[in-house]
Structure 1
Amino acid sequence: MGKGKQFGYFCCYKSNFDHLTKEVEKLRERRESVQHRVDFAKENGEEIEQSVENWLISVDKIVEEAGKFVEDDEEANNPCFKVLCPNLKNRHHLSKKAAKEVKAIVELQDEGNFDRVSVRGISRDRLVAYTESYNEGHEFIESRESILNDILDALRGPYVYMIGVYGMAGIGKTTLVKEVARLAKEGRIFDEVVFAEVSQTPDLKRIRREIADQLGLNFCEESDSERIMMLCNRLKREKKILVILDDIWTSLDLERTGIPFGDVHRGCKILVTSRRRDVLVSEMHCQNNYCVSVLNKEEAWSLFSKVVGNCVEDPDLQTVAIQVANECGGLPIAILTVARTLRNKPLFVWKKALQELRFSARNFTGLEALLGSTIELIYNYLEGEELKLTFLLCSLMKHPCDAPIMDLLKYGTGLGLFEDIYTMQERRDRVYALVRGLKDTCLLHDDDTADWFSMLGFVRNVAISIASINLMVRNDALIEWPNKDMLKNCIAIFLHDINTGELPEGLEYPHLTSLCMNPKDPFLHIPDNFFAGMPKLRVLVLTRMKLLTLPSSFCHLPNLESLCLDQCILGDIAIIGNLKNLEILSLCCSDIEQLPREIGELTQLKLLDLSNCSKLKVIPPNVISSLSQLEELYLGNTSVEWEFEGLNLERNNASLQELSILSHLTTLEIHIRDAVILPKGLFSQKLARYKILVGDVWDWPGKSENRRTLKLKLPTNIYLDEIIMNLKEIEELYLDEVPGIENVLYELDRKGLPALKHLRAQNNPFILCIVDSMAQVRCNAFPVLESMFLHNLIHLEKICDGLLTAEFFSKLRIIKVRNCDKLKNIFSFSIVRGLPQLQILKVIKCNNMEEIFSFGGEDDVGYNEVDKIEFGQLRSLILKFLPQLTSFYAQLKSSDELDTPKPLFNERVVFPNLETLELYAINTERIWHNQPVAVSPGIQNLTRLIVHGSEKIKYLFPSSIVRNFVQLQHLEICHCTVLEEIVSKERGEEATATFVFPKVTYLKLCNLSELITFYPGIHTLEWPLLKRLEVYGCNKVKIFTSEFLSFPKNSEEIQRNIPTQQALFLVEK
């Protein structure tokens, strides 16, 4: 310490003591003020915050010490010594101590600025009581943990202030948010948590009063405006508060309720539950929304058996009990209700309950009443008859657990869903909106697949029972045709799995608009006059039938608008040409070789579905071009032998040019195997939905969410510009051997392919770069790209080159690169910073790959000093056969580091959620660095680790790394020719090391010729769940000593082909 400062203590002796006396007095005043607040809070039954009590104790202690200190000072300055011989050493010591005391006292004063000194006891007690009473009937399900953690993470963040949770009634929303409240309180995310139930008819006065009571706020004023202001101010006093609003049905005015949020009060966060997603998104404007779905079968059975008790251990009863649990559809409220009802009941009661669950009736009785009332309640509150009809129609599908929305489009006409809607696109938009509405109410499962829907079996049973008034539906085998009078007034009949042998004649169904039959026996005979008594029929669906000729009574269906003969064996269907009002014709997946010429007479036809008619080879000339109103044409996975259209050539088959005549065409699915016959101007700019494959290398894709797919293999790029220009908003683009393309992005679309989600480029010797913007203006390219596959691009030098915006690749989740020998890295660091969604990275057989992510680009300047590079969402990392790879992320090195071997993963790289790591033939000397503190959070979620074919690695892991393998299940190390030990010993390692692999079930060590030991020191190994151990080709070690190492009884296989030398797994006393 400097002499000047020491001298200052002597000179400032008096001022330091004067300062101390003043600050002590200030602290006493502050303590008195806080004590008054504490006393008042205790009188109101509130609990004093522990931090406040600790502060009061600290104040009392330091004030007492300061008092004694002043007394010592007075003694040291006794008048008899003050003039004659002052103690300079003592004075210096006291002055220095006074200065330190002042500093400590000032800090305590600052700490005493409490926003609050207590928590309202009623709030905590009420919340716990409510949670416990609720959870007695709604056990918290472990599978909700991921949603729970996501909500808690969002609540911790600074920018999200309103969060929504949605799901059908009885699904467990309230249970979930109560658990959030408990954990948020315990984890001190919030100082206070309040709860209010909103309900279908919100009473703002009641909601205000409920929140105010939990905060200890008494409303004296009577006017609404004064109560709003009082509640708002009270909430603002809470530095961190969570407001839970349960069961919102429609928009709730938070300002009129008195709840401050957003910029008004950043510390107030709101958690909302609703049965409808659209309420949260469109009306409450929640920033994050989480769906609480039904339980899977394992979870459902676990909950069910837990409630029922030990009786399910009876083998006879257990079989029935599992079926009963499955019939509850994963709905917690249904599971709990049924389980409690059947608990301790005899087997015959269980069997009867199973029958009741399987065969619903409109008038709910018994268990049906308990289960069905929930669904019927939601149904009754659906807005509009169209939404209700759509719900019922969804239940009528053969497999509603995974059904295409296309079926609703085909069948909806019969129930009047599209009155006054004329174009297919408008109808499709209407169906999407209706299905979205049902998903928002959770009557349909929301799995984020726009073109498919899923309805739970339990929900379907209730829907069918509701529909049974005017509709006839049978899901079980129909052995005998229903009574004619019973069906006389039906407007729709859906019969699945018909097994009657024959259909009746002379039926009179004057009101019938929809008929769907799906027999078990494809040879079911349809009488010739079967359809004669159905004059109003608008939709006819015959599935899985052998129809070599169609009944002549087809001519008596003048109003038929939709005809679906899917999965049928078809012969002569020329009579269809008489159905002049037909708008939809579907022969999907049927056995038909030639389309009849009469189909061309259907001039009102808007949709023709011939997809997956794999035997279809002939479409007569001019049939397609005659369908002047056609809007949607599906020809995927057919074998049509398209012909050239010449001036003087007589054709026997359709030509592709006919498609260009269809001026209303908005949807096209087609596979043109021979690119040579591709005509100019084939694809119209009007195409809004398409799946177009050109070339013989493509297989027709299955179920896909992409509405605009283009896959090209072209002998020349002569029509490429035209194709890309006309096909707007491509979502999925595959390129194979398309000559002339060097820069994928700007040569195809200078706007940056803004709608592209999936890009695959393969087998192309011309491509040099995917994005080369060096000569371009910065653009927001690939803003929604989710996956990128680059295979066998032998001259690809860079994926990206040039200036990039922050949104570039911002949605990218999957990167796979293979056989790109000129590529030296994947991305520069500036791009890595913009990959927040990356989940899968796979790089294979790129012979010149030096680093996965490089440093040193124009945009990388200033980032070499970044402390950490976190790949927060990366789940799988696979690196194979990269002989030049030296580092995952290369950074600039100082001159004294140039000769130091680099680890594959340096101390800056962190993978907090990595689950799979596979390394094959990676020639680095070290995989991980030796900085345990930095790497600890990086691999704690790793479940699968494979290292193969390294020729330089002498040890695999530092010991500090191994201790983070708490989730590891699969460990495989093979063909590492110089590997001597699995785990290395670090400096300062304890005398006896313990390594625990708590979840490893599979361990394989093969062809490790130099392996000497697992760990070079005294150590203990624990593998409590190991089931399979394979060790061979490790000639310098034996597996383990018989004295010390034991395996669990469930070990399945141990392969030992090694001599007895040094123990691989050694435990020494």
Structure 2
Amino acid sequence: MEQLWDCLMDDSCRKIGVYGMGGVGKTTMIKLIHNRLLEETNKFDHVIWVSVSNFASVTQLQDKLARAIGVCMPENESEMVRAAKLFAMIRTMKNCVLIFDDVWEAFQLEDVGIPEPGADNKSKFVLTARLADVCLRMGCKQIKAELLSEEEAWNLFVEKAGLDVISPHIEPIAKEVAKQCACLPLAIVTIARSLKGVTESCEWRNALEELRDSTRGHHDMRRVFEQLKFSYNHLDDEKHRNCLLYCALYPEDFGIRRKELIERLITGGVIDRMCSRRAAFDKGHAMLNKLEKACLLECVMNKSEDNKQVKMHDLVRDMVIHVNGISSRLMVKSGMHLREIPDGNYWTEDLEMVSLMHNYISGIPSDVSPMCTRISTLLLASNHCLTMIPDPFFMHMATLEVLDLSDTSIEALPSSISKLGKLSALLLRRCAKLRLVPSLEKLILLRKLDLCHAGIKEIPQGIEMLINLRYLNLHTPYLEFLPCGVLSKLLNLQVLITFGASKTSKVKGYEVASLRKLETFSGQFYNIHEFNIFVHSISTRGREPDMYFIQVGEYHTVTFKEEPESFGKHVKLVKCFIGRGDDELVLPNGIQSLDIHDCHGVASLCDISSLNNATNLRSLEISKCDDVKYAFRASSSTHFRSLESLRLIDLLNFVSLSYKAGAAALPNDMFSNLKSFRIHRCPNIKRLFTPGLLLQLHSLSVIEVTFCPQMKDIIAEDNDESIENHSIDMKKTTNHPILPFNLTSKIVYRIN
């Protein structure tokens, strides 16, 4: 509230918007400000309050404003005439604060008849809204009304419920009741007032039990739910409401990773089929942003851009479950510490979505076969103790479309899964003990199969029949091989992940080349020949995957990002001949990161001709390549203008960054964007930079030199240039043979 008051007292701040979720106390805050302004009249001469509420037309806004300033507007006049009259009246009111409470849509002040606040009229315009977008579009300084802290929430509860709540036999229960209000002022005030004067602990326990049961609810919470439901019902379309429903399937107060949630929205059909996965993810992020701005979701701040999360307020979650559970289509018991599945009374024929995620369910009785003839989604993920599902369990679930058994200890899938003909997503992520998967040949509608970190040793039978498959993740540590001819039949694949954990699951170039819709690919090719087949194919059709993570040659440990949306465009070559010959290495034009490990056939990077076309290369690492003596040749046409990071590691015969033939000069912008240079365990290099090369490194901010015992100088002239010709400050000391120099204040030295 003080932030709002400070803005009102600040002459440079003319329009202020307070936004926040329903029930958070925006109107209460603004009323307190309104009353305070009336008491302190030295700053403003007029304070006008307009309650907007719900969506209002320009005419309705004019009527409300006219009543607030005490005038009558004829109904038969046009909006323009009415606006002119209101404008003339309000313009005479200097030092005026105009407050519009509960605004749902942005509007133009002049359309209503409100002069733009400015230094000439010394006026202010304040609004409250549930949507941050309303404040933004009206050009207001935005102030978010936050939830109370736990201490503030308890103090407010005591204030409204009375001092009886701090008696020894009531206080512990009362604090639990207050927690159920989830720091939302409206809920706290409503529940506290309903229990004012109650002194029997049995009544408090009963109230607590009702509040904990979100499907039935305490009768006084209806007002709170109605407030929240109003925002929910006024979302643009059903897709946004369904997005909130998917959020509600997670446990209470759970941080949901954005990427995981968007994957669920795609899998569940909430995000319509789009031209590409990138477009679908963009749509998903836009939907979540809108729900955050509507204060129906909260953004969870995280240092990692790849790990952004959202969270749903407990009461918003209860409201969504309540609204969707009225028709018995929903059963949500995620994160409730269940040790067995709910009994038969919960498994009704009308059920469509069931979430039992994040519990401790260890097994399902063999005689359980729920009669759920309309079920579409069943989420059993993160029941880490779940080892077995009996065959009859899925017998009456022919309509099931999404089955998530990720993060369970299940060892074998029941054969009845083979009969789920409408299944579109089978998620078995991190089922490390899974060994047996029945035939999938009849699941022809399956679009997503996720076996990442599953325990299988061979791919499921019938996978080649899944012609509608869009997403296939085989990032499994025990997978021994991929049968030839399987992948080439999955022509609709957009995401294929076959590499990362297994040493032997390699792919053929022609099979991946046949997947023309592929947008994201991770795989290991047998050799340069197979890799070149793939690269030639994407060059021929003029489009390469948006993201790929490729290793060529022998298996080598690699830091692998499991999330497809985090790949970038990365290639790693291991124990390959990369020199000139019949199978000369061809790199994709869009490559961003290249690692060359234990390869032979080239003395410098400039011997790899396809690097000429790698204009987007940002990261380059060379390690254990004994043939490499130089990083580049001065006479070469190869440029590294986009390169930002260069790492040279364990190069036994490496002697210099550049090989200079005769009087050849280095191109001026060869390394113009290089920011980080690291050289590690290169025993024969004696100097790092010549003065001429150093002057080209305009962006360099980090240098690391470690375990290079022959290194004598960071900077030293060669036979063709004199150090006196360059304006570089060399520092020398008798204490250390390798000396730092003043290039920029950002350079870091770690020299051993």
The alignment's TM-score, normalised by the length of structure 2, stands at: 0.68
Task: Say which SS state the counterpart of residue 575 (structure 1) adopts.
Answer: coil
Residue by residue over 1:607-664, the C-alpha shift from the partner in whole angstroms, topping out at 9 and shown as x without a partner, is 12345x444454344433432111123457x312257xxxxxxxxx434664443211
Partner of 2:344: 483
Partner of 2:442: 578
| 1:624 is aligned to 2:487 | yes
Q: CA deviation at 1:410?
A: 5.4
Partners in 1 of 2:437 and 2:184 — Cα distance? Answer: 46
Q: How does 1:620-659 map onto structure 2 within 5 Å?
A: 620-634=483-497, 638-641=500-503, 653-655=506-508, 658-659=511-512
Partner of 2:182: 329
Residue by residue over 1:949-987, the C-alpha shift from the partner in whole angstroms, topping out at 9 and shown as x without a partner, is xxxxxxxxxxxxxxxxxxxxxxxxxxxxxxxxxxxxxxx
The answer (yes or no) to whether the contact 1:514–1:539 under 8 Å persists in 2 is: yes
Partner of 1:509: 372
| 1:471 is aligned to 2:335 | no
The answer (yes or no) to whether the contact 1:714–1:736 under 8 Å persists in 2 is: no
Partner of 2:394: 531
Partners in 1 of 2:676 and 2:150 — Cα distance? Answer: 35
Partner of 1:438: 291
| 1:566 is aligned to 2:429 | yes
Q: CA deviation at 1:373?
A: 2.6
Q: Which amino acid counterpart does residue 356 of structure 1 have in structure 2?
A: E
Task: Say which SS state the counterpart of residue 102 (structure 2) adopts.
Answer: strand
Q: 2:131 aligns with which of 251, 276, 297?
A: 276
Task: Say which SS state the counterpart of residue 128 (structure 2) adopts.
Answer: strand
Gaps of 5+ in 1: 1-139, 644-652, 754-758, 783-787, 810-814, 824-844, 854-878, 884-1069
After superposition, the Cα gap between the structure-2 partners of 1:247 and 1:583, relative to the gap in structure 1 and judged at 3 Å, is same
Task: Say which SS state the counterpart of residue 633 (structure 1) adopts.
Answer: strand
After superposition, the Cα gap between the structure-2 partners of 1:851 and 1:565, relative to the gap in structure 1 and judged at 3 Å, is closer
Partners in 1 of 2:614 and 2:129 — Cα distance? Answer: 35
| 1:357 is aligned to 2:211 | yes
Residue by residue over 1:360-383, the C-alpha shift from the partner in whole angstroms, topping out at 9 and shown as x without a partner, is 125x44343243232223223333
| 1:348 is aligned to 2:241 | no
Q: CA deviation at 1:740?
A: 4.6
Residue by residue over 1:284-328, the C-alpha shift from the partner in whole angstroms, topping out at 9 and shown as x without a partner, is 353754544434545545655665676666666554444433332
Partner of 2:225: 372
After superposition, the Cα gap between the structure-2 partners of 1:763 and 1:602, relative to the gap in structure 1 and judged at 3 Å, is same
Partners in 1 of 2:72 and 2:694 — Cα distance? Answer: 64
Q: Which amino acid counterpart does residue 745 of structure 2 have in structure 1?
A: I
After superposition, the Cα gap between the structure-2 partners of 1:314 and 1:221, relative to the gap in structure 1 and judged at 3 Å, is closer
Q: 2:741 aligns with which of 836, 848, 855?
A: 848
Q: Which amino acid counterpart does residue 580 of structure 1 have in structure 2?
A: I
The answer (yes or no) to whether the contact 1:413–1:538 under 8 Å persists in 2 is: no
Q: Which amino acid counterpart does residue 740 of structure 2 have in structure 1?
A: N
The answer (yes or no) to whether the contact 1:767–1:796 under 8 Å persists in 2 is: no
Residue by residue over 1:699-758, the C-alpha shift from the partner in whole angstroms, topping out at 9 and shown as x without a partner, is 445889x75645677788976772437999999965545985899xx95567xx9xxxxx
Residue by residue over 1:396-450, the C-alpha shift from the partner in whole angstroms, topping out at 9 and shown as x without a partner, is 1357722245555555578653567686555545444443343232222134779
Partner of 1:1011: none
Q: CA deviation at 1:565?
A: 2.0
Q: CA deviation at 1:183?
A: 9.3
| 1:252 is aligned to 2:74 | no
Partners in 2 of 1:316 and 1:246 — Cα distance? Answer: 42
Partner of 2:240: 387
Residue by residue over 1:661-685, the C-alpha shift from the partner in whole angstroms, topping out at 9 and shown as x without a partner, is 3211123457999999965755964
**Higher strand content, 1 or 2:** 1
Task: Say which SS state the counterpart of residue 446 (structure 1) adopts.
Answer: strand
- For structure 1, which segment, 467-476 or 184-193, has the greater mean C-alpha deviation from structure 2 after superposition? 184-193
Q: CA deviation at 1:515?
A: 2.2
After superposition, the Cα gap between the structure-2 partners of 1:582 and 1:221, relative to the gap in structure 1 and judged at 3 Å, is closer
Q: 2:591 aligns with which of 724, 727, 740?
A: 724
Gaps of 5+ in 2: 580-584, 595-612, 624-629, 659-665, 681-687, 706-712, 716-737
The answer (yes or no) to whether the contact 1:241–1:269 under 8 Å persists in 2 is: yes
Partner of 2:255: 402
Q: Which amino acid counterpart does residue 502 of structure 1 have in structure 2?
A: P
Partners in 1 of 2:321 and 2:204 — Cα distance? Answer: 23
Q: Which amino acid counterpart does residue 438 of structure 1 have in structure 2?
A: L
Q: Which amino acid counterpart does residue 545 of structure 2 have in structure 1?
A: L
Partner of 2:685: none
Q: Which amino acid counterpart does residue 379 of structure 2 have in structure 1?
A: C
- Higher-Rg member (1/2): 1
The answer (yes or no) to whether the contact 1:539–1:563 under 8 Å persists in 2 is: yes
After superposition, the Cα gap between the structure-2 partners of 1:551 and 1:300, relative to the gap in structure 1 and judged at 3 Å, is same
Partners in 1 of 2:677 and 2:49 — Cα distance? Answer: 52
Instruction: Select the structure with the greater relative contact order (CA < 8 A; seq sep ≥ 6).
Output: 2
Task: Say which SS state the counterpart of residue 512 (structure 1) adopts.
Answer: coil
After superposition, the Cα gap between the structure-2 partners of 1:287 and 1:377, relative to the gap in structure 1 and judged at 3 Å, is closer
The answer (yes or no) to whether the contact 2:593–2:620 under 8 Å persists in 1 is: no
Task: Say which SS state the counterpart of residue 577 (structure 1) adopts.
Answer: coil
After superposition, the Cα gap between the structure-2 partners of 1:790 and 1:148, relative to the gap in structure 1 and judged at 3 Å, is farther
Task: Say which SS state the counterpart of residue 396 (structure 2) adopts.
Answer: coil
The answer (yes or no) to whether the contact 2:703–2:748 under 8 Å persists in 1 is: no
Q: Which amino acid counterpart does residue 581 of structure 1 have in structure 2?
A: L
Partners in 2 of 1:729 and 1:319 — Cα distance? Answer: 66
After superposition, the Cα gap between the structure-2 partners of 1:482 and 1:822, relative to the gap in structure 1 and judged at 3 Å, is same
Q: CA deviation at 1:345?
A: 4.0
Percent of aligned pairs sharing the same letter: 23
After superposition, the Cα gap between the structure-2 partners of 1:523 and 1:236, relative to the gap in structure 1 and judged at 3 Å, is closer
Partners in 2 of 1:484 and 1:220 — Cα distance? Answer: 60
The answer (yes or no) to whether the contact 2:347–2:372 under 8 Å persists in 1 is: no
Partner of 1:495: 356
| 1:662 is aligned to 2:662 | no
Residues matched between the structures, number: 645
- For structure 1, which segment, 565-574 or 316-325, has the greater mean C-alpha deviation from structure 2 after superposition? 316-325
The answer (yes or no) to whether the contact 1:565–1:588 under 8 Å persists in 2 is: yes
The answer (yes or no) to whether the contact 2:440–2:460 under 8 Å persists in 1 is: no
Q: CA deviation at 1:482?
A: 3.2
Q: Which amino acid counterpart does residue 404 of structure 2 have in structure 1?
A: V
The answer (yes or no) to whether the contact 1:276–1:442 under 8 Å persists in 2 is: yes
Q: Which amino acid counterpart does residue 503 of structure 2 have in structure 1?
A: E
Q: 1:454 aligns with which of 296, 302, 311?
A: 311
The answer (yes or no) to whether the contact 2:351–2:374 under 8 Å persists in 1 is: yes
Partner of 2:52: 198
Partners in 2 of 1:213 and 1:741 — Cα distance? Answer: 79
Partner of 2:413: 550
The answer (yes or no) to whether the contact 2:507–2:526 under 8 Å persists in 1 is: no
Q: CA deviation at 1:537?
A: 1.9
Q: 1:601 aligns with which of 465, 489, 493?
A: 465
Partners in 2 of 1:749 and 1:167 — Cα distance? Answer: 47
Partners in 1 of 2:96 and 2:631 — Cα distance? Answer: 61
After superposition, the Cα gap between the structure-2 partners of 1:552 and 1:349, relative to the gap in structure 1 and judged at 3 Å, is same
- For structure 1, which segment, 734-743 or 256-265, has the greater mean C-alpha deviation from structure 2 after superposition? 734-743
After superposition, the Cα gap between the structure-2 partners of 1:247 and 1:760, relative to the gap in structure 1 and judged at 3 Å, is farther
| 1:168 is aligned to 2:32 | no
Residue by residue over 1:429-485, the C-alpha shift from the partner in whole angstroms, topping out at 9 and shown as x without a partner, is 544444334323222213477964321223222222222221233233264653369
Residue by residue over 1:247-278, the C-alpha shift from the partner in whole angstroms, topping out at 9 and shown as x without a partner, is 22123232221123399989766444322234
Q: Which amino acid counterpart does residue 319 of structure 2 have in structure 1?
A: V
After superposition, the Cα gap between the structure-2 partners of 1:403 and 1:675, relative to the gap in structure 1 and judged at 3 Å, is farther
